[in-house]
Amino acid sequence: MSHAFKPSWIESTAENLGIIPKLPDKHPEHDLKPVESESPDLANFPAYEDWDDWAEYEAKDWATGKTKRYSLVPTVCFNCEAGCGLLAYMDKETGEVRKFEGNPHHPGSRGRNCAKGPATINQINDTDRILHPLKRKGKRGEGGWERIGWDQVLDEIAAEIRKAIQEERKDEVVYHVGRPGHEGYIERVLNAWGVDGHNSHTNICSAGARLGYAIWHGADRPAPDYANAKFILLISSHLEAGHYFNPHAQRIIEAKNEGAKIAVMDIRLSNTASRADYWMPTRPGTEAAVLLAVAKVMLDEGIYNETFLKEWTNWQDWLKADHSDAEPIFENFIEKLREHYADYTPEFAEAESGVPAKTVIEVARRIGAAGPQFAAHVWRSAASGNLGGWQVARCLHFLNVLSGSVGTFGGTLPNSWGKFHPSVPNPAPPHKTWNELHFPDEYPLSHYEMSFLLPHFLKEGRGKLAVYFTRVFNPVWTYPDGFSWIEALRDPKLIGLHAALTPTWNETAFFADYVLPVGHASERHDLVSYETHSGLWIGFRQPVHREFLRRQGKPVTFTYEANPGEVWEEDEFWIELSWRVDPDGSLGIRKYFESPYRADEKMTIDEYYQYIFERVPGLPEVAEKEGISALEYMQRHGAYAVENDNYKRYLAKVNGTIAASGLVEKGGEVVGVKAESGKRVGFPTPSRKQELYSQTLVDWKWPEYALPAYIKSHVHESEMDRNAGEFPLVPTYRLPTLIHSRSTNAKWLMEIANRNPLWMHTSDAKRLGYTTGDLVRVNTEIGHFVARVWATEAVRPGTLACSHHLGRWRRPQDPIANRWGTSLVDLKEEAPGQWRMRKKEGVQIKKSSDPDSSRIFWEDTGVHQNITFPVHPDPQSGMHCWHQKVRLEKAQPDDEYGDVFVDTNKSMVIYRKWLEKTRPAPGPDNLRRPLWLKRPLRPETSLFYLDPKNESNK
Ligand code: SF4
């Protein structure tokens, strides 16, 4: 292909002035492939046929027609949960990744990414990254490290695990995940070891919303079909600006372009709120009151879906339980429901929340008019900020139920319909232990593990850990009360061995015994599947260097052979570790790590994924059409749409006998429910219906919450002494271009966002005498931090807000790393539990092989606010209630920007105060937890009973 070439006048001028070299008369003949695509919408993507040999101009040498040849290798982004597709552009000469762009074959992201996807190139080229396994030298936390080999790591850790298993200390082996995203892999490993060792970050993130949804219909999160919605309601602190950002945002905009209207409840005028038709900045924690007022309007005006309500809610159960005197007919149910919510007038909602009654009515009518095409979502935000925040999700879903938009085209689907569950090779049976450090009796309904209370449990002697893996997880910085984490992590009597599996240094890894470098998005295998829209897809995160070498006919055995340095991937790590835990098979563990294709041989990672992909419905057939295996299809395409839509799954027909209860039974198990249209699978709840009335909450000692309810938050206005300078602080939102612990090594991202000022409404700032940039001391229940004020009209008056994304730090003795966004700090424990941190130096990259180091214009790295927060475990959901009641005061003479002070003795007092709010197990039948609610790494059923040896107590 040749290009006739005529320089523009700018180019001619630049040529004449000698600013650029003399341009050729015409571009040389070259063999650039014409840009084609399977889809005309995606015309700017290289055609799939060219992915093995794609040529394009060099960005800096285009004028001379210089081209570069690439192999395009798909993988999946690792920088948030959405799992968008990426294409690594691999230089065919050097084998290096030159850039990441979107993968047009990915059904969730459809070729698009947010800023964090392409910034993966910064992460892999980070000059300070950890390239080899390290072992602590000196005391834990002192900062000394030595390089060791993977063999030594595996042998030493395997020995400790084997000992714990042999000595029946199975609860002492724990894997704690920060960034999850490999479907079922670790569960398979932990079951094989027979340990109840899964811990997650869920209850500092989404446990609140999860319980609210689970109580309704088993599935614990929503999957809105935004693209087809007519009305969208988002309760958002960062929802479409961070969580599932790209797949959701693109579909919301599509709906908006088609005329959909959007309402956003957010105390900030966030990116999401700024695109909305209705911005509803509630007083923090009053969202459920507004939602119930919307429900009341819908009930009073008759703008609800009678067919869905009548057939698919358990309204009869409620009448029977609470109104047995009323004839059990639908009309009576509606009448009683209206009576039940009679107090939730729009005027009440306005008084409580500050949202005008007129807006409440208008939004209710919009939802009624949208009917089944009403999409709604809450994530983090109010559900994770407030005491009783789970009721926000429950009240929001109430509106889906009233409008009949559950599982519909344009409505809101249960997440479980859009999540793929692979068939894995050699699965182990459920383990037989119950780890009370994760699921203590006080929180029988928690979603999920009480992970943020781990240090408090350890410190008060509830147990200890022999081997503790933190996996891409940084609780010292991300969690509340980080100094309590440091106190637990530094104590070998509480945590015997701590191995940090991490792609980059973090504040928690400083307190590890082993720091084990694991890969970024392009350096690891993971099977990924998320409910980004109506449909079901799988994505294949794969080590692109390894795949590149395979394509060149130079396959490697282990991923670290292809990755930079000795950066490994966890999938292979766990196989090798398990093999060494049980080298002769006598513990019964090794067999689960043997090849499904070669008897008695160790499974390879290719075999693991080959086994899974051969069993994905339709995938082998599609691959065969291309003349390749299912595994190779995924290595080449990176993603596969298992289903293109998944509406109304609850109407699937089932066979069985109809019991007196109306449930359909088969083989002694409930498989469905009798509906007007016949026997249907329904929803995975005890009634198989949407549970407006929750017998579970009644049985587990919370009868006051049998129906969706409004619980006053711990930061409710009535809790505030305004004369004393008290404010609710909303710390739950993220900045859309940042990742929790893994963006300080991404220079592009830190360039975009590098500060987290304290948002304060201009009226408050004026009243209190602050202007933007003023230092302010923010006092929490256990200490304080010193921040800078940002006076703005983009926040609700009377409310403060500060992003949780910034304030990363390192001490002088720690390895130099993450320099684009960490401050050097002086950290002192002045007396037992009295911790003080002061910044010594902001961003200053003095020496680096990256030439961009010299172009840094920012010095600020923000303030670490989370570490000054005590734990606030919600008594039902177990969610950490992030919002804080803080007392604001002007900075004191000795205060400096970024100062932090915390007293962990006070932390323990606050922890115990919240513990008193609980109503512990047992529940009915001496159960620790309702059998039907989800639980990660579910043990054998007998373990759900407090005395598993004596199931007769049920
Ligand atoms: S939304 Fe952004 S960070 Fe999240 S997976 Fe997609 S590209 Fe990556």
pLDDT for the residue 1: 36
Q: How far is the CA of 569 from the centre of ligand 1 (A)?
A: 20
Q: Which atom of ligand 1 sits closest to the CA of residue 245?
A: 1
Residue ranges with strand state E in 394-435: 412-414
> For residues 531 and 418, is the Cβ–Cβ distance under 8 A?
yes
The SS3 of residue 210 is helix
What percent of the chain stands above pLDDT 70? 95
Indicate the top mutation candidate among 75, 76, 78, 80 to test ligand 1's pocket, ranked by most ligand atoms within 8 A of CB: 80
The token pair at 409 is: 């085209």
Give the per-residue pLDDT at 244.
Answer: 77
Picking from 911, 910, 901, 913, the residue whose alpha carbon sits closest to that of residue 831 is: 901
Could you give the CA distance from residue 710 to residue 699 in angstroms, rounded to a whole number?
Answer: 20
871-to-283, 393, 445, 756, 836 alpha-carbon distances in Å:
22, 21, 18, 22, 19
Q: Which atom of ligand 1 is nearest to the CA of 246?
A: 1
Q: Which pLDDT score, from 0 to 100, does residue 237 have?
A: 65
β-pairing verdict for 412-414 and 657-658: unpaired
Q: How confident is the model at residue 714 (pLDDT cuts 50, 70, 90)?
A: very high
Pull the structure tokens for residue 921.
């197990």
Q: Which two tokens stand for residue 454?
A: 């781990």
Atom of ligand 1 nearest to the CA of 109: 6
Token couple for 542: 């794969």
Instruction: Tell me what pLDDT residue 42 has.
Output: 42
- Residue range 66-78: average pLDDT? 95
Radius of gyration of the chain (CA): 28
In the reported structure, the alpha carbon of residue 246 is separated from the centroid of ligand 1 by a whole-number distance in angstroms of: 6
Amino acid identity of residue 284, one-letter, is P
Q: Which range among 17-31, 69-83, 676-690, 817-831 shows the weakest confidence by mean pLDDT?
A: 17-31
520 Cα to the center of ligand 1, angstroms? 13
Q: In what order do the strands lie in the sheet with 536-541?
A: 526-528, 536-541, 639-643
Residue in 78, 81, 86, 109 to alter for ligand 1 test, most ligand atoms within 8 A of Cβ? 109
- Cα–Cα dist 731/478, whole Å: 12
Q: What pLDDT does residue 41 have?
A: 44
Alpha carbon 361 to chain centroid, angstroms = 33
What is the structure's pLDDT at 680?
A: 98
545 alpha carbon – ligand 1 mean position (Å): 21
- Alpha carbons 391 and 709: distance in angstroms, whole number: 6
Buried b (16+ CB within 10 A) or exposed e, 595-629: beeeeeeebbbebbbbbbbeebeebeeebeeeeeb
Torsion of CA 46, 52, 53, 59, to 10 degrees: 60
Vertex 710 angle, CA 705 and 713, to 5°: 115
Residue 948: band (very low, low, confident or very high) from pLDDT cuts 50, 70, 90: low
At 236, the pLDDT band (50, 70, 90 cuts) reads: confident
Contact status, residue 939 vs residue 431, Cβ threshold 8 Å? yes
- Read off the DSSP letter of residue 612: H
**Closest among 144, 76, 308 to 815, alpha carbons compared:** 144
Cα→Cα distances 186→193, 717, 886, Å = 11, 44, 39
C-alpha 682/C-alpha 690 separation (Å) is 9
The predicted model scores a pTM of 0.94
Q: How far is the CA of 742 from the centre of ligand 1 (A)?
A: 13
Whole-number Å distance, alpha carbon 104 to ligand 1 midpoint, is 14
Q: What's the order of all strands across the beta sheet hosting 678-680?
A: 657-658, 663-666, 669-675, 678-680
In the block, residue with structure tokens 């040749």: 2
CA 675 to chain centre: 36
> Token match 């190779």: residue?
632
Residue 445 contacts residue 210 (beta carbons within 8 Å)? no
**Atom 6 (ligand 1): residue with closest C-alpha?**
84
- Ligand 1 proximal residues by C-beta, below 6 Å: 77, 79-80, 82-84, 109, 113-114, 116-117, 245-246
Residue 599 has which token pair?
Answer: 């008897």
Closest CA to 547 of 576, 522, 517, 573: 522
pLDDT of residue 25: 54
In the reported structure, the alpha carbon of residue 790 is separated from the centroid of ligand 1 by a whole-number distance in angstroms of: 28
**Encoding tokens for residue 392?**
């926000």
Q: Which tens digit of pLDDT belongs to each residue from 171-223?
A: 999 999 998 878 789 999 999 999 999 999 999 999 999 999 999 999 999 99
Residue closest to 739 by CA, chosen among 199, 88, 181, 133: 181
Q: Looking at ligand 1, which atom is closest to the CA of residue 102?
A: 7
Distance 364 CA to ligand 1 centre (A): 33
Tell how many helices (H) and how many strands (E) occur in the chain: 27, 34
Q: How far is the CA of 607 from the centre of ligand 1 (A)?
A: 28
What is the β-pairing status of strands 134-137 and 514-517? antiparallel
Which atom of ligand 1 lies nearest, measured to the CA of 739?
3
DSSP 690: B
Instruction: Among 75, 76, 77, name the best residue to mutate to test ligand 1's pocket (greatest count of ligand atoms within 8 A of Cβ).
Output: 77
* Burial of 141 from C-beta contacts in 10 A (0-12 / 13-18 / 19+): middle
Average per-residue pLDDT for the chain: 94
Instruction: Find the 560 Cα to ligand 1 centroid distance in Å.
Output: 25
Any idea how long the chain is?
954
Provide the pLDDT confidence category of residue 35 given band limits of 50, 70 and 90.
Answer: very low
Cα-to-centroid distance, 44 and ligand 1 (Å): 20
CA 76 to centroid of ligand 1, rounded, Å: 9
Instruction: Identify the residue with better confidence: 64 or 50.
Output: 50
- Return the structure tokens found at 554: 């130079």
Residue carrying structure tokens 């919240």: 914
CA of 916 to the centre of ligand 1 (A): 40
Question: Parallel, antiparallel, or unpaired for β 884-890 and 726-730?
Answer: antiparallel
What token pair was written down for 52? 């093995």
Residue of 87, 103, 246, 735 best suited for mutating to test ligand 1, as the one with most atoms within 8 Å of CB: 246
Strand order, beta sheet including 261-265: 278-279, 261-265, 231-236, 374-379
Tell me which residue has its CA closest to atom 4 in ligand 1. Answer: 80
- The identity of residue 873, as a single letter, is P
748 alpha carbon to ligand 1 midpoint, in Å? 15
Ligand 1 pocket test, candidate residues 101, 113, 741, most atoms within 8 A of CB: 113
Instruction: Tell me the pLDDT tens digit for each residue of 109-151.
Output: 999 999 999 999 999 999 999 999 999 999 999 999 999 999 9
- Token pair 């396994």: residue: 133
Tokens, residue 264: 């956003």
DSSP state of 892: P
On the question of pLDDT at 638 being above 80, the answer is yes
- Residue whose CA is closest, atom 2 of ligand 1? 114
Give the distance (Å) from ligand 1 centre to CA of residue 752.
16
> For ligand 1, what atom is nearest to the CA of residue 80?
4
Confidence of residue 7 (pLDDT cuts 50, 70, 90): low
> Hey, which of 75, 123, 239, 245 would you mutate to test ligand 1's pocket, going by the most ligand atoms within 8 Å of its Cβ?
245
Place of tokens 């479907």: 183
Which pLDDT value is given to residue 184?
86
- Looking at the DSSP assignment, which residues form a beta bridge with residue 788? 775
Nearest-atom index, ligand 1, CA of 112 = 7
Please report which helix (H) or strand (E) contains residue 290, including its range.
helix 287-300
Q: How distant is the alpha carbon of residue 327 from its chain centre?
A: 46
Residue 926 pLDDT exceeds 80? yes
Ligand 1 atom with the smallest distance to the CA of 116 is 3
DSSP 945: B
Nearest ligand 1 atom, CA 247: 1
Hey, what are 832's tokens?
Answer: 């037992």
- Indicate the SS3 state at residue 880: strand
For ligand 1, the distance from its centroid to the CA atom of residue 119, given in whole angstroms, is 10
Which of helix, strand or coil describes residue 316? helix
Q: Identify which has the larger pLDDT, 856 or 494.
A: 494
Residue with tokens 């781990």: 454
Rounded to the nearest whole angstrom, what is the distance from the C-alpha of residue 113 to the centroid of ligand 1? 6
Q: Which residue reads 């980004």 in tokens? A: 532
Contact 230, 373 (CB under 8 A): yes
Q: Atom of ligand 1 at shortest distance to CA of 114?
A: 2
C-alpha 654/C-alpha 950 separation (Å) is 34
Sign of dihedral through CA atoms 274, 280, 283, 288?
A: negative
* Structure-token pair, residue 776: 């302010």
Which residues, in sequence order, are bridge partners of residue 900? Answer: 785, 837
Contact call for residues 674 and 351 (beta carbons, < 8 A): no
DSSP symbols for 602-647? BPPHHHHHHHHHTTSTTHHHHHHHTTS-HHHHHHHH-EEEEES--T
Alpha carbon distance 567, 516 (integer Å): 8
Which residues have C-beta within 8 Å of that of residue 222, sequence separation ≥ 6?
213, 376, 377, 378, 397, 400, 412, 413, 414, 415
Distance CA 666, CA 682 (A): 15
Show the tokens assigned to 618.
């339709």
**Alpha carbon of 243 to ligand 1 centroid (Å):** 8
Closest ligand 1 atom number to CA of residue 113: 7
H-helix segments, 410-468: 454-459
By the 8 A CB rule, do 164 and 466 touch? yes
Shortest-distance atom of ligand 1 to CA 76: 5
User: Residue 805 C-alpha to ligand 1 middle, in angstroms?
Assistant: 16
The pLDDT value recorded for residue 33 is 46
* Res 239: pLDDT: 60
pLDDT of residue 248: 93
What is the widest separation between alpha-carbon atoms in the chain? 95
Give distance in angstroms: CA of 255 to centre of ligand 1.
20
Q: How far is the CA of 112 from the centre of ligand 1 (A)?
A: 9
- Dihedral (CA of 207, 212, 213, 218) sign: positive
Average pLDDT over residues 798-806: 94
Cα of 247 vs centre of ligand 1, distance in Å, is: 8
Q: What is d(CA 195, CA 942) in angstroms, rounded to the nearest whole number?
A: 15
401: three-class secondary structure by DSSP: helix
Pocket mutation for ligand 1, best pick of 76, 79, 251, 529 (most atoms within 8 Å of C-beta): 79
